[in-house]
Amino acid sequence: MKWLIVIILLFVIIIAGCLQEPSTSGQQQGLKGALAEDCMLLLSGTIFKDDSAVADKPWHCFKDRKPSSMGNIPPGYGNYSIVLLDKDGNVLDEFKFSVSFFYMIESSGGYETVPTDRVPFMFEILAKKGTSEVLIKHFDKVLIRESMGGNVPTVNIIFPNGGEELERGKTYTIKWEGYDADDDELFYTLAYTTEEMRESELAIPLTFDNLKESEFSWFIHESYEPADDYQIKIIVSDGVNTNTDTSDETFTIK
Domain segments of the chain: what residues? 30-147, 154-253
Which phi and psi angles does 13 have, rounded to 5°?
A: -65, -40
Flag whether pLDDT at 152 surpasses 80: yes
Which phi and psi angles does 25 have, rounded to 5°?
A: -120, 155
Q: Look over the chain and give the mean of its residue pLDDT values, rounded to a whole number.
A: 84
CATH for the 154-253 domain, from 1.10.10.10, 1.20.1740.10, 2.60.40.10, 3.30.420.40: 2.60.40.10
Task: Report CA 201 to chain centroid distance, whole Å.
Answer: 16
Global pTM exceeds 0.75? no
CATH topology for 30-147?
A: Immunoglobulin-like (2.60.40)
Please report, for residues 23, 78, 160, 176, 178, the alpha-carbon distance to residue 215 in angstroms, rounded to integers and kept in the order given. 20, 43, 11, 6, 11
The whole-number pLDDT of residue 65 equals 65
Residues 41-55: tens digit of each pLDDT: 889 999 999 999 999
Q: Does 30-147 match 154-253 in CATH topology?
A: yes
The whole-number pLDDT of residue 201 equals 78
Residues 185-240: tens digit of each pLDDT: 999 999 999 999 888 778 899 988 889 999 999 999 999 999 999 999 999 998 88
From CA 155, how far away is CA 237, in angstroms rounded? 9
Q: 133: closest CA among 77, 89, 165?
A: 89
Q: What is the largest CA-CA distance in the chain?
A: 60
Average confidence (pLDDT) over 158-172: 96
